[in-house]
Amino acid sequence: MTNKINQLFANSKNRKLLSLYFCAGCPTLEGTGEVIKTMQRRGIAMIEVGIPFSDPLADGPVIQGAATQALKNGMNLKTLFAQLKAIKDEVEIPLVLMGYLNPILRYGFEAFCQSCVESGVSGMIIPDLPFKDYQDIVKPIADKYDLRVIMLITPETTEDRIRFIDNHTDGFIYMVSSAAITGAQKSFDDAKQDYFRRINAMDLRNPRMIGFGISNKQTLEAAQQNANGAIIGSKFVTLLNESSNADEALDRLFEALEK
């Protein structure tokens, strides 16, 4: 069976995809499955499920706050996998786990991959994974379990490096809109637009999704015009925390994306 991430992009060549991030275990420990099912029902194409960690280097205050709350609520990888396993048969869209190396290595990387398969996860994003470790250690195990390891690129990533990543990964490339931490932005300036166009012109093998800073119509359209779709994190996490109800948070998100 084809990996769901590959399937999604193969079936949606002309669709502008929307992927959302939320942190597992926030706002409530038990709500993770319900949030995922609600997102799927409301047409979200792919979901990034955050693994809470005490020192999330790439994340801004909103996602850091969500991780702190989730840890206080008692969320950990064992609990998360149990929750995902419970809804596995109801989830058709790709789930991507996003987390830092420390908790994953503590769990054991092979055990982590095995649990991903058992709970219906299609891939992972590990922001602090060095590329050499990915190639030498992580990729062979992930490939064995047919899991995709998604790599990030930023405006500072060189063309050679981007081509190297494109040639050695599968699934999609996560284009970070800026070299800063996560967080909602009102617009993408000329420098970011130039970066999007530059990557477009490279004609990469992998599909691309743009994330970091998408929170309104202007940023969403810029992302969707320059890639296969957009990833929204901080904005949705904020709305979910405010309402504690995924349907209501999505109503407010869709409304914000119209403005």
Catalytic residue numbers? Answer: 48, 59
Calpha distance 174→236 (Å, rounded) = 18
Query: Distance between CA 79 and CA 51 in Å, rounded?
Result: 11
User: Alpha carbon of 249 to those of 44, 112, 217, 225, 246: distances in Å?
Assistant: 13, 30, 17, 25, 5
Residue appearing with tokens 């992998």? 206
Question: Which one-letter DSSP state was computed for residue 100?
Answer: -
Peptide bond into 94 cis (omega under 30): no
**Residue 48: how many CB atoms within 10 A of its CB?**
25
Residue 124 backbone dihedrals phi, psi, to 5 degrees: -150, 150
Residue in 221, 155, 237 with CA at minimum distance from that of residue 18: 221
Output DSSP code: residue 13: T
Instruction: Considering only the C-alpha atoms of the chain, give the largest distance between any 2 of them, rounded to a whole number of Å.
Output: 45
Q: Give the Cα separation of 10 and 59 in Å (integer).
A: 30
